[in-house]
Amino acid sequence: TPRVFSGIQPSGGLTLGNYLGAIKRFVDMQGSGIETIYCVVDMHAITVWQDPDALRRQTRELTAGYLAAGLDPTRSILFNQSQVPEHAQLAWIFNCVARLGWMNRMTQFKDKAGKNAEKASLGLYAYPALMAADILVYHATHVPVGEDQKQHVELTRDIAAKFNHDFKTDFFPMTAPVIEGAATRVMSLRDGSKKMSKSDPSDASRINMTDDADAIAKKIRKAKTDPEPLPESVEGLKDRPEARNLVNIYAALSGDTVADVMAQVGGKPFGEFKPLLADLAVEKLAPISSEMARYMRDPAEIDRILKDGAGRARAIASPVVQKTYEIVGMVGA
Ligand code: TYM
């Protein structure tokens, strides 16, 4: 049976990019005979400095976001990474499989480390091997992610292939990234050439999942656009990054295809389109933010859900690590 795994870092608030590119798709994959495992990857978050109290709060807040968006802990396994030590155990094995040359090609490391890579943590550099372990410790077959994680899932396949080759086994599966839908790369509302990101210094560049109705509407009203009305058709969006981004957001929120959306709004000036988008965004997002706030009032319940999920995750992960140790030649395994 197919098994889905994905994760999000609790390294700040959730954005509309995380919601449309990841969480909403996690929810859509739930049920229908597939096993779904969703993780709050706190061990990834600490590859850059996190204040301990903030990390605790963000871990619970991200879990609240998962629940508020519709992930159901009885239908999916929801947990935080550090409660399942098998991720770190398998990551060490993969650190010994992955090659320096592979890691040196990772664009996210280059972006995050910036000019002074000497000051980056060793963990930030090794991060993709831990991500491969997250996925492969469950033998996951499908990984729903946004466009920016494609390279990491491809590296996961390289690690699985080299492990299988070196140890003459077919133990690890080839995992497929699932990068589908209208919003696999949601762009900044201030700059159509930049990804919407929780680390952008401008709060106006993103919609946060905790924003209230007024903030959501205001940010959409103020979103950067060019002066032309929307084109008549999908093809006309090609060289219009800001227009394309807002149409993609509309499509992802409504569940319509981009072509359907263009059939409804093509040719409209932004003065007409933006209020439609703002209404739709408020209708879809405001209930999630109020549900999140409700969950956050009961952190003990969140912790209970994470602990229960961790137990179920370990039941899958532990035999995989045991078997891996045995394949590698560890005595006692
Ligand atoms: P992270 O925490 O940066 O982002 C979480 C998810 O949100 C997606 N995303 C976006 N999608 C569309 N538009 C955007 N602007 C946007 N911004 C973020 C990301 O693609 C991602 O799917 N390395 C991962 C976390 C991770 C993981 C894993 C994912 C750790 N282990 C195993 C899958 C499987 C990360 O940093 O995502």
Query: Which tokens in the block code for residue 259?
Result: 């072509």
Beta bridge partners of 39: 7, 79
Query: Which tokens in the block code for residue 30?
Result: 């739930």
10 is in an annotated binding site: yes
Distance between Cα 268 and ligand 1 center (Å): 33
Decide whether any atom of ligand 1 lies within 6 Å of the 200 Cβ: no
ipTM above threshold 0.95: yes
Q: Where are the beta strands (DSSP E) in the chain?
A: 3-8, 35-40, 76-80, 142-144, 176-178
Q: State CA 104 to chain mean position distance.
A: 22
Give percent of the chain above pLDDT 70. 100
Q: pLDDT tens digit string along 91-126?
A: 999 999 999 999 999 999 999 998 889 999 999 999
Beta-strand relationship, 76-80 and 142-144: unpaired
Q: State CA 296 to chain mean position distance.
A: 21
To test the pocket of ligand 1, the residue of 3, 59, 130, 148 to mutate (highest count of ligand atoms within 8 Å of its CB) is 148
In 3D space, the residue among 129, 123, 134 whose CA is nearest the CA of residue 83 turns out to be 134
Active site residues: 112, 195, 198
Average pLDDT, the chain: 96
Instruction: Tell me the pTM.
Output: 0.97
Q: State CA 71 to chain mean position distance.
A: 14
72 is in an annotated binding site: no
In 3D space, the residue among 231, 203, 225, 232 whose CA is nearest the CA of residue 215 turns out to be 203
Q: Residue 9 pLDDT more than 90?
A: yes
Alpha-carbon span 256 to 253, nearest angstrom: 8
Distance between Cα 333 and ligand 1 center (Å): 33
Decide whether any atom of ligand 1 lies within 6 Å of the 87 Cβ: no
pLDDT the model gives residue 32: 75
Domains and CATH numbers, the chain: 3-178+298-328 (3.40.50.620), 203-294 (1.10.240.10)
Residue with tokens 């080299």: 162
Q: Residue 31 pLDDT more than 90?
A: no
Contact 2, 141 (CB under 8 A): yes
Query: Which tokens in the block code for residue 318?
Result: 């532990």
Q: pLDDT tens digit string along 191-235?
A: 999 999 998 999 999 999 999 999 999 999 999 999 999 999 999
Decide whether any atom of ligand 1 lies within 6 Å of the 205 Cβ: no
Rounded to 5 degrees, φ, ψ at 268 are -75, 145
pLDDT the model gives residue 221: 96
Decide whether any atom of ligand 1 lies within 6 Å of the 10 Cβ: no
